[in-house]
Amino acid sequence: MDRIANAFARARSEGRACFIPYVCACDPDFETSVEICRELVEADVDLLEIGVPFSDPLADGLTNQLAAQRALESGSTHEKVFELVRKVRGLGEMPIVLYTYYNLIFSQGIENYVQEAKAAGVDALLTLDLPPEEAFELLEASRNQGLCNIFIIAPTTPNDRIPLIAQSGSGFLYYVSREGVTGAREEMASGLKESVDRIKAHSELPVVVGFGISSPEHVREVSTAADGVVVGSDIVNCIPENLSDKAAIPGVIGAKVRHLMQGLRQG
């Protein structure tokens, strides 16, 4: 069983959903990013989603756009991202998902990128702007290396398209809980369970939910419907709020994540 499957199996055995934090690689700088990831490992999160800094992050709201900007300004490069992954992999067997855009893969050569990702310790690629209809080369290269490919399903995705996405994907399916870009929200979107059930009718893959989750109550609500909960912007916001004391950022994020994870066991 691979690391991603193991994570979901472990959570199921404990009667809960997986908790999946998102952070941007090298935000606010490489050294602090390593310590943030170390803190997340020590918090015993289930999977780790690492964003690859990109100059045109079209699926991201302001919080994650600024995170990518800080990372790039601090000197983040293709090589630095994989160096970070290698350091995180050295901390244990937590699954690592790279949240990226297709140009960042294509520009390095698809086969080369996938090989580098696998060698560094990546378990899956979530390529935001690559639909399954156009993903043949990446899917083939990933299968050859044993990497999963995560695809997104939106509230606007037609029912008749879900089977194609499910058949193309591996590891898990990612449902975005609302239309638009990433960002913390005060309230969760309505009809979440019905939407997750709609996806599960077409696939046996675990379904995780992200976009807009910002409290233990949100985590609890999502975890009753889905197999995993992704929190990004609410965690990333801890970085600009504490830039005057970078050494404190990992601890602040650790405390935030532990607080959010209380929602997995409430009620």
Residues assigned a catalytic role: 49, 60
CA distance 177 to 18: 16
Nearest to 240, CA basis, from 231, 228, 249, 229: 249
Q: Are strands 228-231 and 124-127 parallel, antiparallel or unpaired?
A: unpaired
Q: How many residues does the chain have?
A: 267
Backbone angles phi and psi of 177, in degrees to 5: -75, -10
Residue 91 burial (10 A CB sphere; 0-12, 13-18, 19+) = middle
Phi, psi of 214 (to 5 degrees): -145, 20
Question: DSSP letter string over 32-96?
Answer: HHHHHHHHHHHTT-S-EEEEPP-S--TT--HHHHHHHHHHHHTT--HHHHHHHHHHHHTT----E
* DSSP reduced 3-state for 172: coil
